[in-house]
Amino acid sequence: MTAVRGVTLERVRPVRLAVLLDCCCVLLFVIIGRASHARGESLAGIASTAWPFLAGLAVGWVATRAWRQPLALAPAGVGAWLGAAGLGMVLRVVSGQGTAFAFVLVALAFLGLFLLGWRVAARLGGGVLRRRQRPARLRRRSPR
């Protein structure tokens, strides 16, 4: 595989996938939350609700250097979760949006479940895929 400044294609794909899945988790949280409060799903409304959480997610990624091990629960998953939920709430307060205690708990639970959950699923599913892709002669090794 060709490397440019130490970055290989095998390394870039998991990073892109992790960024995409993390952003989708945050957007899913926002869309479900807005729909459950009958606020509508206008693009402007979703964007105004999502930006604090997406910004917190980005800070969590940078703070933990998540691109190094994007599929890892710690530090990448925990950083993404606490950045999105924790800093996201701080940014909501600064921007004049609400942060009721119940909302903070729901955000922590939902974002934790989804941002950590897909990483657990990838870890479990990845092991199954690796076993299936190995040739049969390598799966079972007889004792020497």
Residue bearing the bigger pLDDT, 11 or 82: 82
Q: Is the pLDDT of residue 3 over 70?
A: no
Domain chopping of the chain, boundaries: 9-139
> Each residue of 34-69: pLDDT tens digit?
988 876 678 999 999 999 999 999 999 999 999 999
Encode burial over 47-84: b for 16+ CB neighbours within 10 A, e otherwise. eebbbbbbbbbbbbbeebebbebbbbeebbbbbbbbbb
> Each residue of 112-137: pLDDT tens digit?
999 999 999 999 987 554 454 455 55
Average pLDDT score over the chain? 86
pTM value is 0.80
